[in-house]
Structure 1
Amino acid sequence: MPKKIKWSTLMLAQLALLTAFCVIGRLLTQPIPNVQPVTAILFLVTLYMGVLPAMIVGGLSIVITNLYLGMGIWTIAQIITFCLLCILVAGINCLIPLKNHTGIMLIISFVSGLLYGFLISILLAPFWGVKSFWPYYFSGLPFDFMHGVGNACFYLLFSFPISSILTKRFLK
């Protein structure tokens, strides 16, 4: 049974700041194809705050950044895919407590880049009129690989500072 979320001013402020961090991170890394910090941040939010807060941060981040980068049917596919990835991480976290397993999270972060591309391709192929799915999907695989590498790097980079903030362990 999922834990009940206690909405507090601190939690709302954290969600707002994490959303802003995702937006700024995505906009700053936009010139690098498929490399952005959103997935890593959403995984940390999932582990430390829960799935619903992660979905809120993910949905808001995608909508806000797509106002700058371009809004379209892909916005809905991106939100759905990020939600599915957060649910997947939460499910794995029920089996293996992931907060203390950085190596496993790095693998999950990398694989999620590949899975993200696959899910986006499945969701968007019908809208683009794609007749042959597999060539369409495989043509995007190098970008999905870059997404996975970026996810793992950003997870490694942000895991300590974000987990410290979300567990209120501030450095003195």
Structure 2
Amino acid sequence: MRYKTREIAVLSLLTALCVVGRLLTNWLPNMQPITAILLLISFYMGWRQAMVVSTLSILITNFYLGMGIWTFAQILSFILVIIFSSLLDHYLPWLTKRLVFQVILCVAVSMLYGFLVTLMLAPFWGVTKFWPYYLAGVSFDVMHSISTVGFFLVLKQPLSKIFGQYLRVETTKVKQIDSK
């Protein structure tokens, strides 16, 4: 798939937003805006764009915060979360259009992300009993869920305006091309 210059610019700015947001909130355990931003990107722009932003955001921030085997688990977990939310948006569009369900989805994908990262990393740490190990870290997943809901509620309005403007320009160009 080829990306247009305008789309690359928008994806770069969204990646920068994720990177800066994660680095600014790094001192708070499991509180970061990336999950909320990725959900909004997947709803408005699509899953491919959300995957690009997620992969770049994790790679760039982990250069600062520390690169390790967890980087692959984070990237793969975000990709699976994006696929999950995109499938919900595709097959149950009413679910992702109402704010109440969006908040529930924020909690669900944050918990899913934590579960997937734990599931992927447990064998590398030599964990033999997964469930006690996972349950010991659930409080961090809950904090991640709370922060995702908070960031989603704060960022939804300004980002939806930006996405709306971006999509309007793209739709106008498509209509102009179709009429020629």
| Structure 2 gap segments, 5+ residues each | 167-180
**Shift in Å, 1:21:** 0.2
2:123 equivalent in structure 1: 126
Counterpart-to-counterpart distance in 1, 2:12 and 2:106? 23
The answer to whether residue 10 in structure 2 is matched with residue 20 in structure 1 is no
Write the deviation string for residues 68-122 of structure 1: whole angstroms up to 9, x where unpaired: 0000000000000000000011010012325531211111101222111111111
| Structure 1 gap segments, 5+ residues each | none
- Match runs of 1:114-153 below 5 Å: 114-153=111-150
Counterpart of 1:64, as a letter, is I
**Counterpart among 31, 34, 49 of residue 27 in structure 2:** 31
Percent identical = 48
Q: Which has the higher helix share?
A: 2
- Match runs of 1:22-171 below 5 Å: 22-97=18-93, 100-168=97-165
Which segments of structure 1 move beyond 4 Å, counting only runs of 4 or more?
none
What SS does the aligned partner of 1:167 have?
A: helix
Counterpart of 2:73, as a letter, is A
Number of residue pairs aligned between Structure 1 and Structure 2: 165
> TM-score, structure 2 length as denominator?
0.88
What SS does the aligned partner of 1:36 have?
A: coil
Counterpart-to-counterpart distance in 2, 1:33 and 1:111? 19
C-alpha change, 1:99 and 1:163, in structure 2 (3 Å) is: farther
Q: Is the 8 A contact 2:85 2:109 kept in 1?
A: no
> TM-score, structure 1 length as denominator?
0.92
Tell me which structure has the larger Cα radius of gyration: 2
